[in-house]
Amino acid sequence: MKRAKVTVVGGGFVGSTAAHWIASKELADVCLIDLNGEMAQGKALDLAQSGPVEGFDAQLTGGSNYEASAGSDVVIITAGLPRKPGMSRDDLLITNSKIVRECASNVAKHSPNAVLIIVSNPLDAMCHVALEASGFPKNRVIGMAGVLDGARFRTFIAEALQVSVEDVQAFVFGGHGDTMVPMPRYVTVGGVPLPQLLPKEKIDALVKRTASGGAEIVGLLKTGSAYYAPSASAVQMAEAIIKDKKRVLPCACFLDGEFGVKGLFVGVLAKLGSKGIEQIMPLELNADEQAAFKKSASAVQELVDVLNKNK
């Protein structure tokens, strides 16, 4: 049986850590692409040499030439400048759009049947850039945001209740940023609805912390942004696609009228399988949730409008 192949574009902390997760899980062979080809090659070689110690078999290659990525099943794009203290995701917009455009177009030339997972920020806007540059259908361009934001929400809930994160089910809707929409009404802990376990003010505090979860880490690191959880989240999505697992995960998807939004990438629940996004999952939103979702979509639209003006 032919082993799957995943290309990770961007050899920084997020990209190289994603390569580590993929190889250690024996999920696929990995190609690491970066402008600094020797750095990518060195990281791939270093990771390959950990295989005999950790007991995994995966072919790892690295470089700057996209020809090495040919035939990839999934491509994870992490390339771009990271956030620094005091910098919003939006500050990265124009610079990273140029980087992601180049990455996506090169990937499409060599892996025309791949599914793209976008990690670069500002996430939702970069999905638009990748969709346009690749020419791929909407089901094969997906943004990694909801898995990460949901993981942060789940972590904070488990911490507050002193329970295992494995027993907390939670997800986040909307754009990846300050306007994201955590959905406490749908959170369960061991099957028990969260509102039965915590008072509203405590839940509101957890929601607020989730929305600023990335900024909290940026503030602590001082010189960069999160990479363990973002890379693990992207790899969970890649695994669902490669193994055709039909997993229902929160992802940034191109909406075509769902939830009252048309022509935008916004975070919703989606079924992921070998074709990429195989279904946008329906969900009933109450008036407050719908209003918050609409506000979040409007924030994404503002970024897309800026991109369109700067073409």
Instruction: Provide the token pair at 17.
Output: 């850590």
Round to whole Å and give the CA distance between 73 and 211. 32
The band of 88, judged by pLDDT with boundaries at 50, 70 and 90, is low
- How does pLDDT run across 126-152, given as a tens digit for each residue? 999 999 999 999 999 999 999 999 999
Look at residue 12 in the predicted model and tell me its pLDDT.
96
Look at residue 227 in the predicted model and tell me its pLDDT.
96
- Do 150 and 144 form a contact (C-beta atoms < 8 A)? no
Round to whole Å and give the CA distance between 78 and 232. 12
Please say whether the structural domain 146-309 has been given the CATH code 2.10.50.10. no
Look at residue 119 in the predicted model and tell me its pLDDT.
97
In the annotation, is 128 catalytic? no
Distance in angstroms between the alpha carbons of the first and the last residue of the chain: 44
The band of 83, judged by pLDDT with boundaries at 50, 70 and 90, is low
- How does pLDDT run across 35-68, given as a tens digit for each residue? 999 999 999 999 999 999 999 999 999 999 999 9
Look at residue 2 in the predicted model and tell me its pLDDT.
79
Residue 200 has pLDDT above 90, yes or no: yes
Round to whole Å and give the CA distance between 92 and 161. 36
Q: How many helices (H) and strands (E) does the chain have?
A: 10, 14
Residue 254 has pLDDT above 80, yes or no: yes
Domain map (residue ranges) of the chain? 5-143, 146-309
Tell me if domain 5-143 and domain 146-309 are identical in fold.
no
Half-sphere exposure of 221 (CA within 13 A, CB side): 18
Look at residue 311 in the predicted model and tell me its pLDDT.
74
Give Cα 66 to chain centroid, integer Å: 22
- Do 111 and 135 form a contact (C-beta atoms < 8 A)? no
Q: What is the mean pLDDT of the chain?
A: 95
Residue 309 has pLDDT above 90, yes or no: no
Question: Angle, to 10 degrees, between the axis of helix 123-134 and the axis of helix 93-110?
Answer: 40
- Do 5 and 73 form a contact (C-beta atoms < 8 A)? yes
CATH of domain 5-143: 3.40.50.720
Catalytic residue, candidates 20, 110, 128, 176: 176
